[in-house]
Amino acid sequence: MALDYFDRRTFLRVGSLTLFGNLTYGSALSMRAAAPAAGGDSKDLSVILLWCAGGMSQMETWDPKPEADDKYRGKFKAIPTNVDGISISEHLPMSAKMADKYTIIRSMTGRDAVHESAQAFTLTGHPPLAGLLYPAAGSIISRELKPRNELPPYVLTGGAASVWEQATFLGPQYNPFLAGNPNDPKYKVRDLDLPMGVDWARVERRNSLLSVAERYFRQFDTAGVTDAMGTHYKTALALISSERARKAFDIGAEPASLRDRYGRTATGQGCLLARRLVESGVRFVSVRAATWDHHQEVFNNLSRTNLPELDRAFSALLEDLERRGMLATTMVIIATEFGRTPEINVNSGRDHWPNAYSVVVAGGGIRGGRVIGKTDRNCWAVTERPVHVEELLATVYTKLGIDTTKVYATPIGRPVRIVDEQFEPVKELLS
């Protein structure tokens, strides 16, 4: 085929496809396009986020209030942990035996009681604004730290990514790889195999033709489009041909006993997959599972489903990471967008409450066996050491060696700091 057959419009149209015809790579295969330009003095830590979307009740989990007034007190008992003076919910018994490995922040405080905007705020560190979507923490980590290998640096388990879990103006190359639900009996990650009817010989022919076209059009390209697309394709080819990637996502290779220890749930298998991915070089994994939005039957829902799943998964993850010598280099965070009201509504549920809630942080060199902050008798307000969302994210970035004062420019030239200047890391987590 003569080069004269191509015009610029044709090349750009071809460029919107993949090397393999109709195969789509989801949001993952362009993730490393700008990696050579990434900076940051990484301390080579990884992050696993257990994202409890919906609003976890602090009183039924990490901040029990057995002395609360009758109208606020829940039905669960507080049980001691393996650290003197720290008690948590009776429905977290396995986690209670590992309290020396994590720190509970009981004084988180937010500013938004609407799910979408509160989740956007928690995952980006910026209150959402009309006309401006901020990049997610996972995308910022992907942008600032070089990838360790051909695996995507930012992975989500569960369904499609919300807009506040994406890279937005940083560019699609920093969007997350969608890993699906590893608890599916037929679990298989898309985009790691060649499509039907395509073999490697055909791939090589298409790649050779693409290289010829790139060389031709590069002489007319003043915007760098050709080089950017070429990097996308190389990233795609590296991932799809990677034996390391196939092994990392092959959760079925784990012993049945270990899979049972984590729990045969989306949360449990998501945590096990996260461990495998971090072990293989992924920097940030967000494990997403069932909703924690309990306006009705909060006690039944938590005791029967959410808490047993979380307890088993979280304790197994810490245990597994420690056994493999990975806990010191892997930060594990249990987070939610806000807490629940102390007041129990007419439907035996608790409603949205951003004023006081809890987050748990473990690993990554963070000393465990501690509680930061305090709430009042009925859990209406923070009484000691309030911790803001921005401070928590600043801590994560600082632990990873990312400069929180760095400023990005949006497409219209608006400056955006990674973390607003009035917020510093949580010093207790750095000591």
For 94-106, write each residue's pLDDT tens digit.
Answer: 999 999 999 999 9
pLDDT (average), residues 85-98:
98
- Closest alpha carbon to 100 in 363, 309, 308: 363
Rounded average pLDDT over 77-81: 98
Residue 235 has pLDDT above 60, yes or no: no
Q: Are 319 and 371 in contact (CB under 8 A)?
A: no
> Which DSSP state fits 399?
H
> Could you tell me the domains of the chain?
31-192+242-430 (3.40.720.10)
124 token code pair: 């980006």
pLDDT higher than 80, residue 376: yes
Do 424 and 167 contact (CB within 8 A), yes or no? no
What contacts 43, CB < 8 A, 6 or more positions away?
A: 399, 400, 401
The stretch 410-420 carries a mean pLDDT of 95
pTM confidence score: 0.84
Q: Please give the pLDDT value at position 146.
A: 87
Residues β-bridged to residue 409: 415
Q: 170-204: per-residue pLDDT in tens?
A: 999 999 999 999 999 999 887 665 455 555 455 45
Token pair for 342: 């102390």
Q: How confident is the model at residue 290 (pLDDT cuts 50, 70, 90)?
A: confident
Task: Kindly state the DSSP code that residue 412 receives in the 8-state scheme.
Answer: T
Q: Say which residue, 158 or 307, is predicted with more confidence.
A: 307
Q: Residue 420, SS3?
A: coil
- pLDDT over 90 (residue 87): yes
CA 136/CA 116 separation, integer angstroms: 14
**How much of the chain exceeds pLDDT 90, in percent?**
74
CB 78 within 8 A of CB 87: yes
